[in-house]
Structure 1
Amino acid sequence: MDLWAMADRGTRRYWKTFGRRIDLDGKHSWLWAPVLTEAGGTVEDNWLQAEAERVGGWIDDGPEAGLLADIGALAGGGFDPGQLHPDVRDFYERTGLWRMEAWVQWAPVFALGGWFVSRFFGRRVGQLALPIRSLDTARGIDSRVERVAGADGGYRGAAWLRTSRATGEYIYSGFYRVSRLPGSEQPSVHVSFPLPLGNVQVFLRPEVGEGGALRLVSPPGAFGADGAYITVVEGDRCWAARIPIHEEFHVFADGANLLRTDHTLALGRATALRLHYLLLRD
């Protein structure tokens, strides 16, 4: 246990050294996201109640809870949500009514690294424990959505919590909302993954594809643009760095009118992981 604590401290020190100091109460407020305040804690859903208390609200776990209250909030900059396929819109606004099956394929050169991160970090902290083989998800993935409501009852964001049906272990614990980056006319899908004393955040640019498909892209770019970031939070001090992780989600209805998602994750210019989801409405 002490060795893992030392490794975690070393990782945080690395990002403090190579990141930049940021002001979450000022010019960098766009990088605010939930964190787990315990250095050695397990993420799972243990951050969620604290987030509801922070906004003076409560958790809404109704069966029709969606990742986004209204996908229309993404309108702007040439993106027209009205062009999306109705099932794509329904999935994001009523995610709790959908279940998923998943398949995974790692690029051989990244498979060992993916296994190490999943086995010795993801499963240990209950966050980002990505499957390594399709057999890891053969019995299915359980998914639940819990929305955070503010004191006025308004939507503040939604937690998407996914666990392995075979083992019950957490695979993924993400917080979804719509955010606008500094100087941008296009709102982004803002996904954050709480970690002990920090988080990983991804800002995804929406685009409409053929047949009303939705593409969400986190491309390369400068600090302050769509992409992936990591933060370290210690008391009232915070550091952040942009990281070379790039993702693309393609959510579409196929020829049989089934909703599917192709998810690609790249490190730099190299594709590391591909996932495919079949989405089924209950």
Structure 2
Amino acid sequence: MTNGSKRTIGTPLDRMTQHWVRLTGRRIDLRDEPWLAGPCGDRDRVGDSWLRREAARHGARVLDGADDAGLLPSMTALDGPGFDASELHPHVRDFYEHTTRWRLELWSQWSPWAWPFGWLVSTLFARRLEQLSLPLRPLDAAHGMTSEVTPVVAPDGGTLGASWQRRLRATGSTVFSGWYQAFTVPGVPQPRVRVVFPLPNGRLVVLLRPRVTPEGGLLLASPGGGWGEDGAYLVVERGSRAWARRVPVHERFHVHVDGEGVLRTDHALNLWTIPVLRLHYRLDGATPPSTR
């Protein structure tokens, strides 16, 4: 199928999805709900051009070519009533503060009922947009993933956030292109990990609640809840107008060190309470920190 025919099929589908959000969601003012603001992707392909637009929106600068960059400048950015970064295992903390030091190996397993849905989404949306293109078969990710982190520095010198692009080593195709920040939602004292996946005319915003396990692992979860609570939100923008809809996609990340000192991540994705996809990452550090 040619690129032109992909655009012919894709644009009406994108419009249908955006119309669904506008019809079933709520009208919002992003000035009042800044946790739903963020970058938008291009119409036909998300790519990485959104990063410079987001930096320009904040008057910030992009640190291209950073060879020791992390998703968060420090895990202490998440410190609050329910989280203390000093309790994390050093490997876990090092991964988030120096993400580019670590090589990612990935295994995936879809629930049998969900695989056809995953194939449909991948075929009609994800591959075309190069966004949220989850591996459909375990061998798709057999050669691992690249990990490119690009920090953005605010005018005051602080880190505004970081983009994280992951590509399959075997094919070079983009799996995820996201914007990562520690973010405090108004009225909630405990900072969250906020992940934004740019989409055409909008974005998917995920709020993840952090918690430290007794073994020093990190749990990040987006459980079910009401409006403004942890979870996933689809946002559509049309000029100065915006709409958002909470979607019943719930995630749980468990970043931990196993009995042999290897850093691993278990990622579970559910639709409501129904299992959809399980991802497992092995993370190998080039210069891992000393253990406790």
Q: Is the 8 A contact 1:247 1:266 kept in 2?
A: yes
Q: Is the 8 A contact 1:119 1:129 kept in 2?
A: no
Aligned to 2:12: 6
Corresponding position: 1:31 with 2:65: no
TM-score normalised per structure 2: 0.93
Question: Aligned with 1:108: secondary structure?
Answer: coil
Alignment map for 1:52-131 (pairs within 5 Å): 52-60=55-63, 61-131=65-135
Q: Is the 8 A contact 1:177 1:191 kept in 2?
A: yes
Aligned to 1:47: 50
Q: Which residue identity lines up with residue 147 of structure 1 in the other structure?
A: P
| Percent of pairs with identical residues | 48
Q: Is the 8 A contact 2:38 2:54 kept in 1?
A: no
Aligned to 1:15: 21
Q: Is the 8 A contact 2:106 2:279 kept in 1?
A: yes
Aligned to 1:233: 237
Question: Aligned with 1:87: secondary structure?
Answer: helix
> Could you tell me how far apart the structure 2 residues matched to 1:203 and 1:146 are?
20
Give the CA deviation at 1:181: 1.7
Q: Is the 8 A contact 1:68 1:92 kept in 2?
A: yes
Q: Which residue identity lines up with residue 6 of structure 1 in the other structure?
A: P
Q: Which residue identity lines up with residue 23 of structure 1 in the other structure?
A: D
- Measured against aligned partners, the alpha-carbon deviations of 1:99-146 in whole angstroms (never above 9, x if no partner) come to 100000000000111111112211100100000111000111111100
> Could you tell me how far apart the structure 1 residues matched to 2:9 and 2:215 are?
51
Give the CA deviation at 1:151: 2.2
Q: Is the 8 A contact 1:118 1:130 kept in 2?
A: yes
Aligned to 1:148: 152
> Could you tell me how far apart the structure 1 residues matched to 2:134 and 2:142 are?
14
> Could you tell me how far apart the structure 1 residues matched to 2:156 and 2:213 are?
36
> Could you tell me how far apart the structure 2 residues matched to 1:242 and 1:57 are?
29
> Could you tell me how far apart the structure 2 residues matched to 1:164 and 1:79 are?
33
| Alignment RMSD (CA, Å) | 1.0
Q: Is the 8 A contact 1:182 1:224 kept in 2?
A: no
How many residue pairs get aligned? The number is: 279
Give the CA deviation at 1:248: 0.2
> Could you tell me how far apart the structure 1 residues matched to 2:52 and 2:284 are?
29
| Residue in structure 1 matching 2:192, options 181, 188, 192 | 188
Give the CA deviation at 1:41: 2.6
> Could you tell me how far apart the structure 1 residues matched to 2:19 and 2:106 are?
35
Corresponding position: 1:223 with 2:213: no
* Runs of 5+ unmatched residues, structure 2: 1-6, 287-292
Aligned to 2:252: 248
> Could you tell me how far apart the structure 2 residues matched to 1:143 and 1:150 are?
23
* Runs of 5+ unmatched residues, structure 1: none
Give the CA deviation at 1:152: 2.8
> Could you tell me how far apart the structure 2 residues matched to 1:30 and 1:255 are?
38
> Could you tell me how far apart the structure 2 residues matched to 1:257 and 1:54 are?
42
